[in-house]
Amino acid sequence: MSPRRAATGGLLDRTRTVRFTFDGQTYDGHPGDTLASALLANGVTLVGRSFKYHRPRGVFTAGIDEPNALVTVLKEGVREPNIPATRIELHDGLRAESQNRFPSLDYDFGALNQLGGRLIGAGFYYKTFMGPVIGPLKGTRFWMLCERFIRRAAGLGRADYGKDPSRYERMNAFCDVLVVGGGLAGLMAAEAAAKAGKRVILAEQEPAVGGFARWSGETIGGKPASVFAEQLAERLAGLDTVRLLSRTTVWGYYDGNTLAATERVCDHLAKAPKGNPRQRHWTIRAGKVVLAAGALERPIVFPGNDRPGVMLAGAVRRYATEHAVLPGDRTVLFTNNDSAYEAAVAIRRAGGHVTAIVDVRPSISEAAAALASEAGVVPLTGQAVVGTSGGKRLAGVTVQRFDAATGALSGDARPIECDSLAVSSGWQPVIHLASQAGGKAHWDEALQAFLPPQPGRSWTGAGAFMGRMTTAEALASGRDAGLDAAGKKPSRAKLPEVAPQPLDIAPAPVFEIKAKGKAFVDLQHDVTADDVRLAHREGFVSVEHLKRYTTLGMATDQGKSSNVPGLAIMAEARGIAIPEAGTTRFRPPFSPVAIGSIAAERYGDLRPDRLTPMHDWHVENGAAMTPAGLWHRPLVYAAPGETVEQAYIREAAAVRRSVGIVDVSTLGKIAVKGPDAAEFLDRVYTNTFSTLPVGKARYGLMLREDGIAFDDGTTWRLGENDFLMTTTTANAGPVMQHLEYFLDVIWPDLRVHLTSVTDAWAGAAIAGPNARKVLEKCVAGTAVDNEALPFMGIVEGAIGGAPVMICRLSFSGELAYEVYSGAGHGLHVWEALMEAGEEFAITPYGMEALGALRIEKGHVTGAEIDGRTTARDLYLDWMLSKKKPFVGSALMDRPALIDQNRIRLVGVVSLDGRPLGGGAHIVEKGSLDDLGQSIGHITAFCYSPELSKYIGLALVRGGKARHGTRAFVSDPLRKRFGPVEIVSHHFFDPEGRRMHG
């Protein structure tokens, strides 16, 4: 039997015992417990240390607003820091640790910070740590030295670096009505909307619906409130138009009534069932939203209000009723409103002892007095708690006479012994989602709370969220909201009867008791009432300045309990009303969300692998694959022991000597069809395609509207009105979108259809002096000689029985062909080509060799067409038609774009026999110790087996004018400096004899 657990009562499964550990110590609890309730039941009151002063802290709330009791959960071999103990459902084997303490929770060196006290008040760090202006610690050095210690002291829990082994998933949901909050108001709303024929989703963050009804101890329709809620939930669960989601927090209200929610699917289980996600990210598109998120209690700020044992009154009530746990042997309540009196009764009913009720109000309602007497105590009205005593747990409070109108204390301070103090300064509706939705909160003087903005078209509200604090109002407003969301009028039908609640829900406007000692507003961040006043003194008076200067409300609880008291203190300092001090705009998430859960199915699978039809062959044949956008492409097919460089040199040499084969399936391919296809191509390409005969291909260049080079590729005319355009691998998507934009938006009169056929075709390029011989061996149905298949010609035939289309074009400068087959035949054709090429030692080559061959030939790719270069920069002027306008023609000759001193394409040759380097710069003079002025950079380089030299392409100021001059490659990042010669970028066979031959 746990020391603080009542013998009976509570919504627990007492037949089962659950064993868990906290800081290595083993404890027992029951299903239905949270870690917080179980620790309290075991008499554990010290559970954490605060952020700045490392003060001992205990459980303060019973829910999502918990600022103190943050623990690290150890599960599946990884740490999950900063989880409120109030939110952790107990399960067998649960392991939790306290945090932000060293060496232990009981003895924490960090507590020395408390000695700093006033020295380290709000914003102190802005005023110091700047260090000397001269000497070894000048500049930022002194600060960075101090910062190392500050960073170690700051932070809360410790994360580790092991991969989170969990699975996360997403779910897309659609509904007519989303109800946020499964308390009575939410349940009623869901039922009303469902009965009106709507598809409803109800999300409740707790494991069970019912909310307040679970621990109010009230009677509804003659039944205990918790039973009433359960039965209502059961009825809803039976409807197939309703989806009830428990353990689901709606945390984001986005445009278009899209809401984000996280369902904790398996966190409460010792082990997730196979294939089940730990958490599920719901994106819910709702026709209308009913916000029934309830209200959270606020504390009163007074000196020593952070001692373990101080707790919100509603939390005490909840623990006593729902978990049958008493937070102490002797409890004092301290309040400015009636709700705490219900807590007193709950304590009494659970068998506990209420020592005193301290009420700042001069008098109280009869109903409250009746509750006090039921709790066996005479309220101390017109008094306030002005201090607490005790070390790591509360030992007593000091009480003094208090004038609620002036805030003045008088008379003697009297100590009261107690080990538990329950405080309340009234309730604040949980308006976060409404604020996210865009409305501005307004202040309600009676409730001393911010109410949500007026409901609009997208959402409506119900229950405590709307400031309807009683159970009867929750039922009525819930039903009306549900009907409203369903487009129906409010109902007059009778609601289940609730015992009338005569309590005065309006709190006295008292949020702080000013007395000597540290009084905490933001418990987690250790922001005191004096800090708020210091901010005021220094001019940080707007609510945003207050927040940023003091860090008030920026802790993991996001100020759920500290916002209103903080504002009240600032308002008082400024001599203005609370609403004039303003409220901050709430932003997603409402409460912290596991980052992996939002990544959902993309956690561990960021982007899909895009594979060519020959992918498996490449891998099986030793290719090292490299990512190219989403694609995977062979880099080299290295033989055992070969380096990448050795491999590509071998591959490239084989092409020049005999024949090689490369997978070009990744090139973008677009079918361009229709009577205006040729006209369209004339407009988007810089050169002319309308003159291209059927059965021929042409190299084309596209510019952007601003005249900068965009993409290049060959386009094949397969029929009068039928073209196959190829693009670079990287630009396949952007080119498609570019073309679609022009057809849809600019030239809707053109009759052209575009279809992406990238995936329809497998492409194998074979290149080298023996390329034709390979084709001759395996191609059926067509001749491939120079006459039948001249340069840039296209023929159709078959290889190994599979239909192919062959175009004779060359990227390498060799006699070369691109063989296209249906993608499903790609591997078959590839293997047939390999077999036919066997006698010529056909060599598969990868991206590196492809690059080397194109560099030798001086062909440009994405490294040169980098979004900044013009056609003229790349000496592609010959492709700019003078006979017609084209996309980019109007702006391509602006003064700065035709400046001769732009960086332009050249070739460079290493003169010291050492490699160059992509991204190395070119300088006219200098050294690694004295870097010269950059005149350009190398875009690509390789060892040219043909020239037996390291060569490269470069963009160099002035371009061609520098041919034949000497310069230096300057690559300080790789510590390389050496002489180069600037030459034409056409290194190899500039006349093109080989590819035309």
Name which of residues 531 to 550 contact another protein (CB under 8 A): 534, 537-540, 542, 544-545, 548-549
Residue 24 one-letter amino acid: G
Smallest gap from residue 345 Cβ to another protein (A): 37
Nearest partner of 357 among 349, 368, 366, judged by Cα:
368
* Contacts (CB under 8 A) with another protein, residues 454-473: none
CB-nearer residue toward another protein: 382 or 674? 674
Please say whether the beta carbons of 927 and 974 come within 8 A: no
* Contacts (CB under 8 A) with another protein, residues 716-745: 721, 737, 740-741, 744-745
* Contacts (CB under 8 A) with another protein, residues 73-102: 78-82
Residue with tokens 């020395």: 112
CB-nearer residue toward another protein: 330 or 937? 937
Q: At 981, which helix (H) or strand (E)?
A: strand 976-983
CB-nearer residue toward another protein: 417 or 679? 679
* Contacts (CB under 8 A) with another protein, residues 181-220: 199
Smallest gap from residue 163 Cβ to another protein (A): 4
Site string for another protein, 753-792 (x = CB under 8 A): x-xxxxxxxx------------------------------
**The only residue of 8, 895, 929, 948 in contact with another protein, by rule CB under 8 A:** 895
Nearest partner of 310 among 287, 334, 294, judged by Cα:
334
Dihedral, 950, 953, 955, 958 alpha carbons, nearest 10: 80
Burial class for 558, CB neighbours closer than 10 Å (0-12, 13-18, 19+): buried
Smallest gap from residue 156 Cβ to another protein (A): 5
Stretch that binds another protein, among 222-230, 402-410, 463-471, 824-832 (CB under 8 A): 824-832
Please say whether the beta carbons of 659 and 842 come within 8 A: yes
Q: How many CA atoms lie within 13 A of 147 on its CB side?
A: 8
Stretch that binds another protein, among 268-276, 353-361, 500-508, 985-993 (CB under 8 A): 268-276
Residue 138 one-letter amino acid: K
Smallest gap from residue 611 Cβ to another protein (A): 6
Smallest gap from residue 668 Cβ to another protein (A): 12
* Contacts (CB under 8 A) with another protein, residues 359-388: none
Please say whether the beta carbons of 876 and 985 come within 8 A: no
Smallest gap from residue 944 Cβ to another protein (A): 18
Smallest gap from residue 545 Cβ to another protein (A): 6
**Using rule CB under 8 A, residue 877 touches another protein:** no
Site string for another protein, 396-425 (x = CB under 8 A): ------------------------------
Smallest gap from residue 370 Cβ to another protein (A): 44
659 alpha carbon, distance to own chain's centre: 49
* Contacts (CB under 8 A) with another protein, residues 420-439: 438
**The only residue of 13, 106, 112, 174 in contact with another protein, by rule CB under 8 A:** 174
**The only residue of 182, 507, 707, 846 in contact with another protein, by rule CB under 8 A:** 707
* Contacts (CB under 8 A) with another protein, residues 918-957: 918-921, 923, 931-934, 937, 939-940
Smallest gap from residue 870 Cβ to another protein (A): 9
Please say whether the beta carbons of 651 and 709 come within 8 A: no
Contacts of the segment 437-445: beta carbons below 8 A, 24+ positions apart:
437/253, 441/583, 442/579, 443/577, 443/578, 443/579
Stretch that binds another protein, among 190-198, 393-401, 648-656, 860-868 (CB under 8 A): 860-868
**The only residue of 598, 702, 806, 908 in contact with another protein, by rule CB under 8 A:** 598
CB-nearer residue toward another protein: 721 or 786? 721
CB-nearer residue toward another protein: 537 or 966? 537
Cα separation, 159 vs 157, whole angstroms: 6
Smallest gap from residue 403 Cβ to another protein (A): 24
Smallest gap from residue 339 Cβ to another protein (A): 29
Burial class for 885, CB neighbours closer than 10 Å (0-12, 13-18, 19+): exposed
* Contacts (CB under 8 A) with another protein, residues 963-992: 970-974
**The only residue of 867, 882, 913, 991 in contact with another protein, by rule CB under 8 A:** 867
Q: At 626, which helix (H) or strand (E)?
A: strand 623-628
* Contacts (CB under 8 A) with another protein, residues 131-150: 133, 139-140, 143-144, 147, 150
**The only residue of 10, 29, 157, 211 in contact with another protein, by rule CB under 8 A:** 157
Nearest partner of 84 among 52, 42, 43, 39, judged by Cα:
39
Nearest partner of 764 among 703, 701, 837, judged by Cα:
837
Nearest partner of 524 among 545, 550, 546, judged by Cα:
550
**The only residue of 152, 442, 966, 993 in contact with another protein, by rule CB under 8 A:** 152
* Contacts (CB under 8 A) with another protein, residues 11-70: 51
**Using rule CB under 8 A, residue 854 touches another protein:** no
Smallest gap from residue 580 Cβ to another protein (A): 12
CB-nearer residue toward another protein: 636 or 771? 636
Residues 6+ apart with CB under 8 A from 151: none
Total residues contacting another protein (rule CB under 8 A)? 180
Please say whether the beta carbons of 657 and 669 come within 8 A: no
* Contacts (CB under 8 A) with another protein, residues 438-457: 438
Burial class for 944, CB neighbours closer than 10 Å (0-12, 13-18, 19+): buried
**Using rule CB under 8 A, residue 827 touches another protein:** yes
* Contacts (CB under 8 A) with another protein, residues 676-695: 683
**Using rule CB under 8 A, residue 558 touches another protein:** yes
* Contacts (CB under 8 A) with another protein, residues 797-816: 800-802
* Contacts (CB under 8 A) with another protein, residues 481-540: 530, 534, 537-540
Output the CA–CA distances (angstroms, integers) from residue 539 to 485, 527, 559, in the order listed: 45, 17, 22
Query: Are β-strands 668-673 and 722-727 bridged in parallel, bridged antiparallel, or unpaired?
Result: antiparallel
Residue with tokens 């175009």: 807
Smallest gap from residue 910 Cβ to another protein (A): 16
Nearest partner of 861 among 877, 846, 876, judged by Cα:
876
CB-nearer residue toward another protein: 86 or 612? 612
Site string for another protein, 570-589 (x = CB under 8 A): -----------------xxx
Supply 666's token pair.
């990744």
Nearest partner of 483 among 188, 202, 741, 261, judged by Cα:
188
Query: Are β-strands 258-264 and 70-75 bridged in parallel, bridged antiparallel, or unpaired?
Result: unpaired
Three-state secondary structure readout of 94-113: CEEECCCCCECCCCEHHHHH
* Contacts (CB under 8 A) with another protein, residues 632-661: 635
Supply 718's token pair.
């397969």
**Using rule CB under 8 A, residue 594 touches another protein:** yes
Nearest partner of 434 among 426, 442, 446, judged by Cα:
442
CB-nearer residue toward another protein: 616 or 912? 616
Cα separation, 286 vs 284, whole angstroms: 6
> Looking at the chain, how many residues does it have?
997
Nearest partner of 56 among 390, 304, 392, 394, judged by Cα:
392
CB-nearer residue toward another protein: 403 or 722? 722
Longest dimension (CA), the chain: 115
* Contacts (CB under 8 A) with another protein, residues 299-338: none
Smallest gap from residue 140 Cβ to another protein (A): 5
